[in-house]
Amino acid sequence: MAKTNGPTRHIFITGGVVSSLGKGLTAASLALLLERRGYRVKMQKLDPYLNVDPGTMSPYQHGEVYVTVDGAETDLDLGHYERFTGTTCTRNSNFTSGSIYRSVIQREREGGYLGKTVQVIPHVTDEIKAAIRSLDGEDVDIAITEIGGTAGDIESLPYLEAIRQFRHEIGRQNGIFIHLTLVPYLKAAGELKTKPSQQSVGILRTIGIIPDILICRCEHAMTAEHKSKLSLFCDVDLNKVIEERDVEHSIYEVPLELSRQDVDVFILELLHLHVTAVKMDDWKAMVATLIAPPKGTVEIGVVGKYIGLRDAYKSIYESLTHGGIANGVKVVYRMVESEDVEKEGAAKLLDGVAGILVPGGFGDRGIEGKIQTVEYARTQRIPFFGICLGMQCATIEFARNRCGLKGANSTEFNADTEYPVIDLMAEQKTVTEKGATMRLGAYPCRIEAGTRARAAYGAAEIQERHRHRYEFNNLFRDTLGKQGLILSGICPSRDLVEIVELKDHPWFVGCQFHPEFQSTPLRAHPLFRDFVAAAVKQRDQGSTGNA
């Protein structure tokens, strides 16, 4: 382990020209490379919007809400952080202007600034600096802070000022700025353009930030001329103008591309840290499997409510990819909007898929389509994986169609159903505030022997992350159990059903928690691994040959 013998070093990553450049991926890739050189890395994202956290935003607005082990609802970039690295994200890994301002205003009400005028500078910037400092520790060599938004946004200003001050305070040798920018290709002119990046760095310079490293996102290769132009006008060393071209196959290629250009070496040099050897063999092997999977492709149907936005199910798609890597196959997704199932039928839209996954969600739009999808997977004996709302739909379907409980439902969708097989948790009944009030974060789950879940995990007790208000209603345990629904996972402390499955089916598992938050490309989550394995079997044997 390369101990730094000094304070935690800081890397600040900003973005320029446009949003959606992949700052999170770049940050995660750099963290991986530094970890693979023996450094202990922690990461965080600071988001300039005013929501206290993304938990109350629509998936269409914000994409997936990523849940940390300690139950924070956070930005999906944290998913990249955890998937790429060994870092564990916590509440301190994501702050927003909403959470920063809330702390400042709370302190003002408590009299913490008594006598003073409370202002953006220094009070808000001090709070931002405290958020950054929360990553510091004896066990952290390098802290990476990603600033959300784009240089030039009004709401980003306090963050840029705060990181400028922070670097000034810790000294140049202990902190660096990396700016991720876009070098667009103009088709009509047939060339790459550096001007937007120059202007973006110009904006940073007015605040007093000069990037140490410029990472340029581009669709086409940059020439030496582009690089020297950017180097000169942006005041960045020529060798630290890095090209980050669109990768061909997978986001997991990004670290390899950055490593090829020695970005991690430059970072260590700038931070006065030893340039230790980098070990990436397992990662390279994983990417090779991804690019040329030995066992071909397998098609999985994903039937969701927010299919129009890929980011809404980010960790689900990634986890399926990981399951594919573990099985030597490439997973291709057939994304199906559950409302379309209601109109056109599951048989038509899902014909030929080797596995069906129904992910989480909120609200009654598209629910009947999800339930029809479960019925199709169950009766056609297609491997099925239901996650959170997907597990709840599986329970409803089983109650209606196997137990004769006509109109069974979740009280989320029908408060007056005669058979509320999914119901609000007791402690939720008095909750009125929407933010951060669900059952959130990691809880233990005890797994019954002889079940698919036990076979997958190979353990009797596991921990998984949650984000939901409704639960399997214990009043129906007997009725559903008698008809063959196996309750294979139970939360021991609260006696809640966490996993359901079917015996007489190739692979049918629903879980109340979100396993997709614990899967990584090098270590596929066991349920995703086994689900994809079952799908591969289905592909190879057809729908009749499995047991």
Instruction: Tell me the catalytic residues.
Output: 388, 514, 516
Q: Which two tokens mark 225? A: 């001329």
CB of 421 to ligand GLN, least distance (A): 13
The CB-nearest residue to ligand GLN is 360
Q: Indicate which single residue of 201, 389, 393, 396 sits in contact with ligand GLN (rule: CB under 6 A).
A: 389
Binding-residue total with ligand GLN (CB under 6 A): 10
Nearer to ligand GLN, 15 or 79 (CB): 79
CA separation for the pair 202, 68 (Å, rounded):
36
State the minimum distance, in angstroms, from the CB of residue 312 to ligand GLN.
12
**Are residues 507 and 534 in contact, defined by beta-carbon separation less than 8 angstroms?**
yes
**Which lies closer to ligand GLN via its Cβ, residue 158 or residue 510?**
510
Is 314 a binder of ligand GLN (CB under 6 A)?
no
In degrees rounded to 5, what are phi and psi of residue 143?
Answer: -110, 130
Query: Are the beta carbons of 398 and 388 closer than 8 angstroms?
Result: no
Compute the least distance from the CB of residue 299 to ligand GLN, in Å. 24
438-477 residues near ligand GLN, rule: CB under 6 A: 467-470
Residue 388, interface with ligand GLN (CB under 6 A)? yes
CB nearer to ligand GLN: pick between 412 and 501: 412
Beta strands 420-424 and 439-447: pairing type?
Answer: unpaired
- Number of CB atoms found within 10 A of residue 57's CB: 14
- Are the C-beta atoms of 442 and 432 separated by less than 8 Å? no
Q: Does 62 bind ligand GLN (CB under 6 A)?
A: no
Neighbouring C-beta atoms of residue 460, cutoff 10 Å: 11
Decide if residue 516 touches ligand GLN (CB under 6 A).
Answer: no
CA distance 166 to 208: 12
Q: Considering beta carbons, is residue 295 or 365 the nearer one to ligand GLN?
A: 365
Q: Please, what sign has the CA dihedral across residues 454, 455, 456, 460?
A: positive
Token reading at 63: 């994409």
Site string for ligand GLN, 86-105 (x = CB under 6 A): --------------------
Query: Across 28-69, where does the E strand assignment appear?
Result: 41-47, 66-67
- The residue from 15, 71, 361, 383 that contacts ligand GLN (CB under 6 A) is 361
- Number of H helices and number of E strands within the chain? 19, 23
Provide CB contacts within 8 A for 75, sequence distance 6+. 24, 45, 47, 54, 62, 66, 94, 148
Q: How far is the CB of 392 from ligand GLN (least distance, A)?
A: 6
Per CB under 6 A, contacts with ligand GLN among 407-426 are: 412
Which residue lies nearer to ligand GLN by CB, 161 or 498? Answer: 498
Residues contributing to the site for ligand GLN (CB under 6 A): 360-362, 388-389, 412, 467-470
